[in-house]
């Protein structure tokens, strides 16, 4: 099929709080991915880095930073930023370069070193910056938004805090089997219920941590993969990077208000649902074809919304899926078999790349004790603030 690129290699630096530079994490992930691909660094023709806003200037020019750390060898470099969706935009940039014939082999890297506690906006006095304003005017942290969605689900769909806790229990059980995860201990519903409330109704164990970590992929043209001897590689078949349509009727980070729907009727489909739909259309598959999904569980409640947005069930039926165990390992459609953000914590520019790493290992049948049997088709879904959505469909 035209439009596909091959995933030759995947690699990570384990997630945690290691107290070192994001450059070191990214370089470890890149070297691991190159080793996995059997590709020499000097054979890479392009490097795409997903930026981190926490690493100073090297973080803003991540592509060049990783190329220098690996040893300048003349490859073209690109650096992209799209908040939590940066990693998927980096993958999409690499794919576009390959499909356009600008490069045959591209290295994609994302890495972060996160501070403890709430993410905060860049410093200074910047009243023109919506991200600065939501903190200045309201003190609205990221968990505050997650909690608004969670409360809304409870009121509209009848979800309960116990449903949300089931998501954490499920993801912790999967993460316990993943050597790259930061949290590898099983978690009980009682432990979730006993953790401190951060933003009612969400508790500490409902909300993902902020982590250090890195992920990398080696992507190539299908023709290069054949010449390289990879006869049946995992293929990226679609990358969705759609934006919302006006009026956006759902309050997203860092909004203080939604768009007004006075002049134009909102689209019947939510922005998050449109992200997955675009990926399905491009890939020529649907939710019924999926073997697994990796979704952005910034909170437990948000994972349930993703079930609905990627078409695993109808609106309001997400909690039913997790109660039935359908989305657990061994269930009908495992979601976040990696352990998800619940087990990793968020390393922003690495996270969407890490989702594709997990698809790669699952589709290769190389995911060890968390393997989804016979995995053939997987989707990732992710949303970054300022209107960045992403979804990747990979097949084998």
Of residues 155-174, which lie at the interface with another protein (CB under 8 A)?
Answer: 155-156
The answer to the question of residue 223 lying near another protein (CB under 8 A) is no
The answer to the question of residue 289 lying near another protein (CB under 8 A) is no
Token readout for 395 is: 């097949």
Nearest distance from C-beta of residue 131 to another protein, angstroms:
10
What residues have CB less than 8 Å from 304, skipping those under 6 apart?
Answer: 153, 159, 163, 164, 167, 318, 319, 321, 322
- Residue count at the site for another protein (CB under 8 A)? 51
The answer to the question of residue 198 lying near another protein (CB under 8 A) is yes
The answer to the question of residue 197 lying near another protein (CB under 8 A) is yes
The answer to the question of residue 149 lying near another protein (CB under 8 A) is yes
DSSP state of 220: E
Q: Is 30 exposed, middle or buried (0-12, 13-18, 19+ CB in 10 A)?
A: buried
The answer to the question of residue 121 lying near another protein (CB under 8 A) is yes
Residue among 261 and 366 whose Cβ is closer to another protein: 261
C-alpha neighbours within 13 Å on the C-beta side of residue 241: 18
Distance CA 77, CA 159 (A): 46
Query: What does the chain come to in residues?
Result: 396
Nearest distance from C-beta of residue 143 to another protein, angstroms:
8
The answer to the question of residue 199 lying near another protein (CB under 8 A) is yes
The answer to the question of residue 258 lying near another protein (CB under 8 A) is yes
The answer to the question of residue 268 lying near another protein (CB under 8 A) is no
The answer to the question of residue 261 lying near another protein (CB under 8 A) is yes
**Do 43 and 224 meet the contact criterion of CB atoms below 8 Å apart?**
no
**Do 276 and 299 meet the contact criterion of CB atoms below 8 Å apart?**
no
The answer to the question of residue 138 lying near another protein (CB under 8 A) is yes
Residue among 242 and 249 whose Cβ is closer to another protein: 249
Per-residue x/- track, 3-32, another protein (CB under 8 A): ------------------------------
Is 17 in a helix, a strand, or coil? coil
Pairing type for strands 105-112 and 212-220 reads antiparallel
Nearest distance from C-beta of residue 90 to another protein, angstroms:
27
Per-residue x/- track, 233-252, another protein (CB under 8 A): -------------xx-xxx-
Is 19 in a helix, a strand, or coil? coil
Token readout for 275 is: 């992200």
Per-residue x/- track, 75-114, another protein (CB under 8 A): ----------------------------------------
CA angle 212, 217, 223 (to 5 degrees): 175
Nearest distance from C-beta of residue 249 to another protein, angstroms:
5
The answer to the question of residue 387 lying near another protein (CB under 8 A) is no
**Do 94 and 86 meet the contact criterion of CB atoms below 8 Å apart?**
no
CA angle 52, 221, 74 (to 5 degrees): 55
Which residues contact another protein (rule: CB under 8 A)? 117-118, 120-121, 123, 125, 127, 130, 132-141, 144, 147-152, 155-156, 196-202, 246-247, 249-251, 255-264, 266, 315
């Amino acid at each position: 099929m035209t439009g596909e690129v091959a995933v030759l290699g995947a690699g990570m630096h384990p997630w945690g709080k290691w107290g070192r530079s994001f450059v070191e994490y990214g370089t470890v992930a890149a070297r691991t991915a190159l080793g996995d691909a059997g590709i020499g660094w000097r054979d890479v023709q392009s490097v795409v880095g997903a930026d981190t806003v926490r690493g100073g200037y090297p973080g803003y020019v991540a592509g060049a930073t990783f190329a220098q750390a690996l040893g300048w060898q003349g490859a073209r470099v690109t650096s992209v930023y799209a908040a939590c969706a940066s990693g998927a935009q980096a993958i999409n940039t690499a794919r576009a370069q390959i499909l356009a014939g600008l490069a045959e082999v591209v290295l994609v890297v994302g890495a972060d070193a996160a501070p403890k506690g709430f993410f905060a906006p860049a410093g200074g006095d910047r009243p023109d910056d919506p991200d600065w304003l939501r903190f200045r005017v309201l003190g609205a942290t990221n968990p505050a938004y997650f909690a608004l969605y969670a409360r809304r689900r409870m009121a509209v769909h009848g979800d309960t805090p116990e449903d949300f806790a089931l998501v954490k229990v499920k993801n912790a059980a999967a993460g316990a089997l993943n050597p790259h995860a930061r949290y590898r201990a099983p978690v009980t519903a009682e432990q979730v219920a006993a953790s401190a409330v951060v933003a009612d109704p969400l508790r500490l164990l409902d909300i993902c941590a902020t982590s250090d970590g890195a992920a990398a992929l080696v992507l190539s043209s299908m023709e290069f993969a054949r010449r390289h001897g990879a006869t049946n590689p995992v293929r990226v078949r679609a990358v969705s990077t759609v934006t919302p349509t006006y009026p956006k009727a759902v309050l997203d980070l860092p909004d203080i208000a939604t768009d007004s729907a006075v002049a134009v009727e909102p689209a019947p489909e939510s922005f998050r649902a449109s992200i997955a739909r675009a990926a399905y259309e491009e890939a020529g598959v649907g939710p019924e074809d999926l073997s697994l999904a990796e979704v952005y569980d910034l909170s437990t409640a948000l994972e349930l919304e993703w079930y609905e947005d990627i078409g695993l069930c109808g609106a309001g039926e997400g909690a039913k899926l997790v109660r039935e165990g359908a989305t657990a390992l061994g269930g009908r459609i495992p979601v976040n078999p990696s352990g998800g953000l619940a087990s990793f914590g968020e390393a922003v520019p690495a996270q969407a790349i890490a989702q594709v790493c997990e698809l790669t290992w699952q589709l290769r049948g190389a995911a060890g004790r968390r393997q989804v049997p016979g995995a053939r088709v997987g989707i990732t879904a992710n949303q970054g603030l300022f209107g960045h959505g992403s979804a990747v469909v990979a097949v084998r």
